[in-house]
Structure 1
């Protein structure tokens, strides 16, 4: 339906006319339109329907267009009908003006700036003419654009916000995708959004407003609650392709048990126009009749902007309380949710994610955007940590707060639900990729500056600083730059959230007690890689024939099957090309078969062993891959390069596991959840393609197999086959999407016991957050140093940054979460000079209970399953 744009498309104006507006005629037309809508909508079995029809007929009889004096007679007939009131039991519809503007979609960001201005000028005129009209507006980014480019309009919006007519909602920087951004990115959406609304409009939002995104993470309720929001509105689940979602008003319970009041407008739209048909649909389609008697009605042209019109407002005013219809009132989000909360004792509860049974191709579409998003989330994480450490250790270092805010806002902008999903035109995708380049460039500069500050005062020649930005000690193989542009492999050990000096060629760690990697090429050209932890066997075409956990001898690949099997599918969705992948694509599975003899040994062993091969995917597309096993590493990596030139094809890689389980586990923001591996019900079947972040796992008692990745999101586990979605080739709205060269890495990790005890979570973090080898202006400090460590493997220290409101910049914000799904106590240890520690919410507002007990630079923290906690650490002034 939505084709790629034609840059040569031309339009011609053939006629223009001036017209005189006759308000009396307009009012009669509105009344007639509504009366005919009532007659049609209520049907011939309803007496009120006939009353409406006869009233309209009488109006036509008495009204003569050539005699304006007859108009008041006709209007009096209509007023008599609409003045007949309904009973107290009637359903109340809360009509709110709205103008959903996609921050980018079929137009670039700069066009959205103009869309906002045009739409909100119209809204201002409506608010001036209609004091009872209330307009709800989301997305701080759009308001920031208006503030920057149209300051006069922004001032008017502030004025109407003070009157209560212009109501900022949502609390986020943009209406982001609800699945793909990381947990920290979602926190920053609220942090930046709520701070903006407070600064510019004097109050923060109490509703999370996300009407048009493609599913909703199970961690959103907890994030909302900790950002001062306990109400949620969307309508997108009405688009479900298979199952009808059973509620319109309900409590939504998240992964940690947090609850918010959720409301889906029963009219299943955010762009109503005030017709009788829409009003009646809002009541008829409400799936919570009897439990609640209030519903939202969002009216105004949306997606491309425009917003409400005077005609829409007039229709709704006329329907305010008419017998035979629900009550209609021009209302606000506050009035709606207050009414719902007042009668919420009978509402049902939905636990877990709100999975949209449509648009699941967006987990894979536009791989370069997905990769840019993941990389920039990592870069900003690393920059904030290193800058925080430099701030704590150096009196001269200035934390780059303003620049980091700008970079975060760029990243948050690209997480809009039609950008990070890849469902946008080529021009938008190119802009997003440019934003990622800006974040990378500035991020690398900031990393170098922080490293220089950490090494300040050290005399001597330049050196290398090896930095670990994760909260656990790591011993890994790292390629270190040497003179002349060469690199050498070294086994390095770096403490948690700290650094160590780079080893010199004469001080490389011996491999013992760890077994070196052995690489053996057999006479049949197959290759075996073995590091004493896992043993990998590749057939002559590069497929995985065996993956053994050495200590137990347990085989991870299903008997008679091949792992690392690339598979092509035909991918022709019914309707939305870039958005959808349909279940019937699974019927077109075609394994990509390699040619024997292309497998060769790469690195021959020691600290690293590898083999590589070439694979012709099709006449137009090819793939090369290096399979890498490092000393001491519990997983085998697959470094992949693809040259992709296809049309409506879907590339995946499959790993049949020697594991049986009815459920698989997938990482989500700040935690994980289980989804079925079978198709017992239509709800199970609808999840044939799902999303995950850095890992997914299939486990039975005592053994499992985890599939990790560094930039992919689409995934599935069907039966015993783990499948990672790699590339798509839709042709609209971007005809060039995914064409060209791609690089990515995934990894396979067999494990004993549960994935929690086996360390799948830290392994996936390590794959995504490589150790950093940063040049230092002087020699790296002689001794290793750690800033933070956590005593429990169940607790992840996710973020370290400067607090938003920090006197003299000497307060750090730490964010931790419980990752295993357990109740746990842990000790947070720091070597920084901490003066005071206090818990806070995600908006960094201090807990009123006061400071925590700090003992020997240690804090005791208690977590419930998947709980996110934030902590403010006030640092002592550095020595002069």
Structure 2
């Protein structure tokens, strides 16, 4: 009797290089798992092994070259199947867009150069959510398919586990949500197969069923494979094919079946991960931005001034950053020593980027023809962004001399303000001015002596109010909250009540916040200690709000500029509360509220409904 339902049995090993262990243990775990998979291939001619993450292969190549050659042969044979195409299986929301592009660039390039293949299927089975621009990024990295598991069906309803996933630009991949687990213990395989078969609604339908010991590696066992062979002979079981995700997706496309379409983000699972362990998230963004700046300006320096572009150093630094984006590192769910390791590797990447960035700006600035003048100090300001604009510039400097002013290339005087230096001795100060900069370029300014210097009026600012041509802001002196933000051109009052309110919310969940969708049980609010003006001049004024709750403190510095149409807020939190989380509340005075959020190389619009 011919069996109608088909299960594509995907032999894999979920490898967490870091989680409840450090990367050194993960290193050994990768080698042991790969050795096991190779041994299974010798024992079973029909066995296929599915594996991702170029970082693991680089470990094996450098530490066990003979085993790497075995893998190369099995890849050539077609039984060792490369999926993922990325350096690691990262968190799929927190990193920036360039990081996902680099995941694909370094991953696919490595697989092509070392193994002669590129991945056709994206693969992030344990990541906690998936940003809405991934279909575009996957397609441009050469991948037409995607496999994930979270959010599960209890967290996001889908019309089917296999569907077409699209991003805002129209890019589409064929996606599959693993219905139960990406790994199984040997004795649980029959039950797992029966559950997967129960998901097939079409009498002649098919689905993928993932098996193999995972998390700490392991992969498919002898008992796994022999059980599949035995179960396949049973008449009451579906047809079981030892196979790969690529084969499954190819069969789906050849079948001509119409798939449901899902657009945008795949949420929510473990939303607590996006606030846990803020340090690793801060280090990640700092390293991403600095490497991007360093590379841009190194390229410019090479073309403009004959400087160096240290490609190998930047590549190694990016690999460190990409590795630390692994979902259990970036999510704050690993053990504390893992974050000591992450600090070290982020530090190495940041140092490389800092040195490359400094070399680039030095090489360019030294070749700029700036007219000499007695007692003149030249300043070159770079804009690494792909857009022009006005930007605040702060720089440390010796104290200004009498009648010393700031001028641009045409000799026009620019408003300049001195603020508190980071140093407390030896006559140092900190200079602030607004620079109007071209995209991916620079402008030169000069500190010069002018006897007939122009004076500029200070920003209108008192102890608890400030205004410029666009708006006026006021603070309640007792609470420290914003009491008014008034738009001058049309009389709009932005807030319906006190704003920028630091609210303490109960959070008794675990690190992941499993099963928690909305955090809304308010325990209390920070109360104001002081509201005072700490800086005021022709460039900006700064109002500092100090607030306390329990044993914690918050310092909020609100900067209002004469020439910029936004307010910059620098917030420092000294947090000591337990089982609690912190939110800032802004009650908007709008009839219809919709928020736009930056996502990797894109924008998402979401309703502010408590899930944020």
TM-score (norm. length: structure 1): 0.63
Q: Does 1:592 align with 2:526?
A: yes
Could you tell me which residue of structure 2 aligns to residue 412 of structure 1? 322
Question: Which has the larger displacement, 582-591 or 436-445?
Answer: 582-591
- The equivalent of 2:334 in structure 1 is 424
Which residue of the partner structure matches residue 433 of structure 1? 343
Deviation (angstroms), 1:199: 1.1
Contact 2:598 2:604 in 1 (8 A): yes
CA separation of 1:197 and 1:292: change in aligned 2, threshold 3 A: farther
Distance, in Å, in 2 between the alignment partners of 1:101 and 1:280 is: 25
2:573 to 618, 642, 651: 642
> In the alignment, which residue of structure 2 is the partner of 1:388?
299
The separation in 1 between residues aligned to 2:495 and 2:465, in whole angstroms, is 15
1:601 aligned to which of 519, 525, 533: 533
- Aligned equivalent of 1:262: 175
What corresponds to 2:284 in structure 1? 373
Superposition pairs for residues 488-637 of structure 1, below 5 Å? 488-504=431-447, 506=449, 517-521=459-463, 527-540=464-477, 541-558=479-496, 561-573=497-509, 576-580=510-514, 582-583=516-517, 585-595=519-529, 598-618=530-550, 620-637=551-568
Structure 1 position 312 matched with structure 2 position 231: no
State the alpha-carbon separation in 2 of the partners of residues 334 and 542 from structure 1. Answer: 58
Give the match for residue 390 of structure 2: 475
Question: Which residue does 1:793 correspond to in 2?
Answer: none
- 1:581 and 1:634, CA in 2 relative to 1: closer, same or farther beyond 3 A? farther
Q: Say which of 164, 168, 176 aligns to 1:251.
A: 164
Alpha-carbon offset, residue 133 of structure 1 = 0.6
The alpha-carbon deviation at position 647 of structure 1 amounts to: 1.8
Partner Cα distance (1:366, 1:306) in 2:
29
Asked whether the 8 Å contact 1:480–1:490 carries over to 2, the reply is: no
Shift of 1:555: 0.9
How far off its partner does 1:458 sit?
5.4
- Distance of aligned partners of 1:187 and 1:291 in 2 relative to their CA distance in 1, 3 Å threshold: farther
Whole-angstrom distance in 1 between the partners of 2:288 and 2:391: 22
Distance in 1 (alpha carbons) for counterparts of 2:546 and 2:605: 35
Query: How far apart in 2 are the matches of 1:217 and 1:578?
Result: 18
Q: CA deviation digits over 1:511-545, x for unaligned, max 9?
A: 98xx8521123xxxxx1111211211111132101
Q: Does 2:606 align with 1:675?
A: yes
User: Structure 1 291/428 Cα, relative in aligned 2: closer, same or farther at 3 Å?
Assistant: farther
Residue number in structure 2 paired with 1:87: 2
Q: Distance in 2 between matches of 1:220 and 1:389?
A: 30
Shift of 1:269: 3.4
For the 8 Å contact 1:208–1:229, the answer to whether it is kept is yes
Inter-partner Cα distance in structure 2 for 1:434 and 1:580? 30
Alignment of structure 1 residues 622-771 onto 2, 5 Å:
622-661=553-592, 663-678=594-609, 688-689=610-611, 716=612
The answer to whether residue 233 in structure 2 is matched with residue 290 in structure 1 is no
Asked if structure 2 preserves the Cα contact closer than 8 Å seen for 1:511 and 1:607, the reply is: no
Cα distance, 1:148 vs structure 2: 1.3
- Shift in Å, 1:134: 0.6
Specify whether residues 291 and 339 from structure 1 end up closer, same or farther in structure 2 by C-alpha distance, changes over 3 A only.
farther
Which residue pairs with 2:413 in the alignment?
A: none
Q: Report the counterpart of residue 11 of structure 1 in structure 2.
A: none
Query: Quick check: 292-301 or 458-467, which moved more?
Result: 458-467
What is the rounded CA distance, in whole Å, between the counterparts of 1:670 and 1:292 in structure 2? 40
Alignment partner of 1:403 is 2:313: yes
Larger deviation, residues 463-472 vs 561-570: 463-472
- What is the CA–CA distance in structure 2 between the aligned matches of 1:254 and 1:346, rounded to whole Å? 19
Q: Tell me the SS of whatever aligns to 2:127.
A: coil
- Deviation, structure 1 residue 206: 0.3
Which of 277-286 and 358-367 deviates more? 277-286
Whole-Å Cα distance in 1 between the matches of residues 519 and 596 of structure 2?
23
What are the ranges of 5 or more consecutive residues in structure 1 without an aligned counterpart? 1-85, 522-526, 679-687, 690-715, 717-880
Structure 1 residues 253 and 458, CA gap change in structure 2 (3 angstroms): closer
Distance 1:572 1:292 in 2: 46
Question: 1:267 touches 1:285 (CA, 8 Å); kept in 2?
Answer: no
- Equivalent-residue separation in structure 1 for 2:130 and 2:453 (angstroms): 47
Contact kept in structure 2, 1:477 and 1:608, CA below 8 Å: no
Determine the structure 1 residue equivalent to 2:408. none
Aligned residue for 1:381, secondary structure, equals helix
Shift of residue 579 of structure 1?
Answer: 4.4
Q: Is the 8 A contact 2:468 2:562 kept in 1?
A: yes
Shift of 1:669: 1.6
Q: Summarize the Cα distance change of 1:423–1:511 in structure 2 as closer, same or farther, 3 Å threshold.
A: farther
Structure 1 distance, partners of 2:341, 2:97, is 24
Distance 1:478 1:183 in 2: 26
1:358-369 matches, within 5 Å, as: 358-369=269-280
Change (3 A) 1:510 1:222: farther
Question: Looking at CA atoms only, which structure, 1 or 2, has the larger radius of gyration?
Answer: 1
2: CA distance, partners of 1:429 / 1:182:
20
- Contact 1:661/1:677 (8 A) holds in 2: no
Q: Does 1:167 align with 2:81?
A: yes
SS at match of 2:446: coil
- Please list the CA deviations of residues 313-343 of structure 1 after superposition, one character each: whole Å capped at 9, or x if unmatched: 1001122353111100111222211111112
Equivalent residue for 2:419?
none
Q: Which structure 2 residue ranges, 5 or more long, are not aligned?
A: 399-426
1:174 Cα deviation from its structure 2 partner:
0.3
Does structure 2 conserve the Cα–Cα contact (< 8 Å) formed by 1:221 and 1:254?
yes
1:208 corresponds to: 122
Q: In the alignment, is the contact (CA less than 8 A) between 1:519 and 1:605 conserved in 2?
A: no
Change (3 A) 1:407 1:581: farther
* Coordinate RMSD, CA, aligned: 2.2
Partner of 2:332, secondary structure, is coil
Task: Give, in angstroms, the shift of residue 578 of structure 1.
Answer: 4.1
- Distance in 1 of aligned mates of 2:438 and 2:580: 45
Relative to structure 1, the CA distance from residue 167 to residue 621 in structure 2 (aligned partners, 3 Å threshold; closer, same or farther) is same
2:234 counterpart of 1:322: yes
Deviations 1:344-377 (A, max 9, x none): 4322111111113x30011111111111111111
Q: Following TM superposition, by how much is the alpha carbon of 1:201 offset from its aligned partner in structure 2, in angstroms?
A: 0.8
Conserved 8 A contact 1:386-1:447 = yes
- Pair 481,583 (structure 1): closer, same or farther in 2 beyond 3 Å: same
The 3-state SS of whatever aligns with 1:236 is coil
| TM-score normalised by L of structure 2 | 0.89
8 Å contact from structure 1 (residues 476, 632) kept in 2: no
Verify the 8 A CA contact 1:536 1:547 in the aligned structure 2.
yes
Question: Which of residues 265, 274, 279 is equivalent to 2:193?
Answer: 279
> Deviation string for 1:220-246 (max 9, x for gaps)?
1111111111011112222x5455443
May I ask how many residue pairs the two structures share in their alignment?
Answer: 576
Kept after mapping to 1: 8 A contact 2:276/2:511 = no
- Contact 1:570-1:650 at 8 Å conserved across structures: yes
